[in-house]
A and B are shown apart, each in its own frame.
Chain A
Amino acid sequence: MNSIITESVTPALECKGLTKRFDSLEAVKEVNLRIEKGERRAIIGPNGAGKTTLFSLISGLYPVTSGSIRIFDRDITHLPSYRRTYLGLGRTFQITNLFPTLTVLDNLVIAAMGLQRMKFSMLKPLSGYRQINERASEVLESVGMAEKRMRVVKNLSYGDQRQIEIALALVNNPRVLLLDEPTAGLSQEATAAVTGMIGRLDPQITVLIIEHNMDVALQVAKLITVMHQGALFAEGPPTEIRNNRHVQEIYFGTED
């Protein structure tokens, strides 16, 4: 299971004994995870396996019960969420989490302000900050949504919203990117669009992706981690995972 131990290069992300308990439920159990710089890793597992909880621990939305999290050898276990963003962590959400009443451009502008001091400026109109607006437009263009910039997000198709979901996380040039089921509920066409977008990401970015769609997971990642009932269950290259009988049982059901 732990066959892929690489040399002692600093990993981009490392979890040790990570545990999260909600009252009597152990949502995440003793997870040890090591993701190398630039690696693309997929996490799969049935519903309720603790995948999203794991993401929320890494991104700091939930406090950790025990264990530790490190990004590039910096301990972030107890840092508040926003500080982790300053250190280069970005994430998206399984349940689309945008600013629905604002335009696409404004969504990206908010993201672009995240790490700037001017976010506290209270008198000068936002439109006067050219750099911020340029950065937002630039990212919009790179994800191919420039022509929809003035549309209000809640009126966009679900597929478009999923792409903005990723775009928001990209604005601040993350070094480690957590994608939570980016293609959940998308049509084949839209899935291909999102998968393509992930494929075109800067290879320097370390990507951890939760994915239910095996085809997407296989396309994006070279290593797959399987979670089951809060714990890591298996880890390996896609073919190995696919042929692992235990994984088939918990994940694909018992049929062939």
Chain B
Amino acid sequence: MISKQLILQNWLWVILGAAVLLLVVLPPVLPIFIVILLTQGLIFGLVAMSLDILIGYTKLAALGHAAYFAIGAYTAAILATRHAAGFGFCLFSGIGLRLMTAAIIGLFVIRLSGVYFLMCTLSIAMCFWGLAFKWTQMTGGENGISRIPRPNIGFSVDLYNNLTFHYFVLIFFVLCAVLIVLLVRSPFGRTLVGIRDGESRMRVLGYNVWLHKYLAYIIGSTFAGVAGVLWAFFNRYVGYTDVSLYRCMEVFLMVSIGGQGTLIGPNIGAFLIVFMRNLVSAYTNRWLLVIAIVYILTARFAPMGFIGYLKRFQKVRGGI
């Protein structure tokens, strides 16, 4: 009884542990193209998780999240190709620049709520799209930035090997996931849920709601920056499509299909969409139609996403 309760209370850790174990053990025996998709899934899982902090825990529907992830990607790409910067420098610059832009944009958008917030974040993201597309000197414009070298981290580790790179990404994923789970379970994380559930109540309980949202926005964006840097080195190419409206939608869908406010859900959504996108594309180029149908079905039959659908069968539940 007690152990059952313990597992229920720590189900986030249990599932995370199991998933990571699978991702450690399985890749060597899987075909390499599956491993590559898994790596992609991890990177987008990280983006989706970081977005879940905003959507699922704080009720900040940041539609432009994916485009901000491109800031990390472009920073890393530019530094690595033109300035031969090391991985550490790329990572910290990517995160740092992302943090700064989030801090500035946050000042303007956090005051908005609901659909206004959504549209405003999207339009800012589209400004970045414009920058990526037009600022040819810096971003390569239409051509993007290609031939990004995989980082050299020494110890004769060959990151050009896709299996090795998978483990490289996995390490960052686990680090970030642990930090995000800790955040969600911390007092601060709980205040975010409070804001989601009852913003005006929080204000009369002594919370500066704006500040909490602002911090959440910066934190969520920073994790997206980490994913962006990894994406640049994984894909070895960054282009304006990474900032496109479609990318923004896609990440948003990962969170809502998987189940917002669960952290696990967005990861499921990310893996699902990454795999479907690649498998479906092999047969038809009507991928957008397929994802639209999936989204409509989710909205109709599982509005709280996949995890939300499962939870309906689990009667007793306390907290998050």
A172 to nearest B CB, angstroms? 7
Chain B, residues 159-180, CB within 8 Å of chain A (1/0): the string is 0000000000000000000010
Interface locus among B25-33, B194-202, B247-255: B194-202
Is B206 in contact with A98, judged by CB distance below 8 angstroms?
A: no
Is B193 in contact with A150, judged by CB distance below 8 angstroms?
A: no
Q: Is A182 an interface residue (CB 8 A)?
A: no
Q: Given that A61-B203, A91-B204 are known contacts, is A102 also in contact with B197, CB under 8 Å in the complex?
A: yes
Q: Given that A82-B203, A97-B200 are known contacts, is A121 also in contact with B193, CB under 8 Å in the complex?
A: no
Q: How far is the CA of A211 from the CA of B157 in the complex (A)?
A: 73
Contacts of B188 in A (CB 8 A): 119-122
Q: Is A130 an interface residue (CB 8 A)?
A: no
14 A-B interface contacts by CB (under 8 A): A61-B203, A93-B200, A99-B193, A102-B319, A102-B320, A106-B319, A113-B187, A114-B202, A114-B205, A122-B188, A125-B185, A126-B186, A126-B190, A152-B319
Is A124 in contact with B319, judged by CB distance below 8 angstroms?
A: no
Is B203 in contact with A126, judged by CB distance below 8 angstroms?
A: no
Q: Is B191 an interface residue (CB 8 A)?
A: yes
B261 to nearest A CB, angstroms? 8
Count B interface residues, CB 8 Å.
30
Q: Is A252 an interface residue (CB 8 A)?
A: no
Chain A, residues 44-78, CB within 8 Å of chain B (1/0): the string is 00000000000000011100000000000000000
Contacts of B206 in A (CB 8 A): 82, 85-86, 114-115, 172
Contacts of B117 in A (CB 8 A): none
Q: Is B182 an interface residue (CB 8 A)?
A: yes
Contacts of B179 in A (CB 8 A): 123
Q: Is A219 an interface residue (CB 8 A)?
A: no
Is B182 in contact with A122, judged by CB distance below 8 angstroms?
A: yes
Q: Is A156 an interface residue (CB 8 A)?
A: no
Is B204 in contact with A85, judged by CB distance below 8 angstroms?
A: yes
Considering only residues 179-227 of chain B, those with a C-beta below 8 Å from chain A are 179, 182-183, 185-191, 193-194, 197-198, 200-209, 215, 219
Q: Is B318 an interface residue (CB 8 A)?
A: yes
Interface centre among A60, A98, A126, A152 (most CB of B within 10 A): A126
Q: Is B317 an interface residue (CB 8 A)?
A: yes
- Other-chain contact of A124, B186, B194, B207, B215 (Cβ < 8 Å): B186
Q: How far is the CA of A100 from the CA of B199 in the complex (A)?
A: 12
Q: Given that A123-B186, A125-B186 are known contacts, is A99 also in contact with B203, CB under 8 Å in the complex?
A: no
Is A122 in contact with B189, judged by CB distance below 8 angstroms?
A: yes
Contacts of B320 in A (CB 8 A): 101-102
B214 to nearest A CB, angstroms? 12
Considering only residues 91-138 of chain A, those with a C-beta below 8 Å from chain B are 91, 93, 97-103, 106, 109-111, 113-115, 118-127, 129, 132
Contacts of B186 in A (CB 8 A): 121-126
Is A99 in contact with B201, judged by CB distance below 8 angstroms?
A: yes
Q: How far is the CA of A45 from the CA of B245 in the complex (A)?
A: 52
Q: How far is the CA of A228 from the CA of B83 in the complex (A)?
A: 72
Contacts of B201 in A (CB 8 A): 93, 97-99, 168
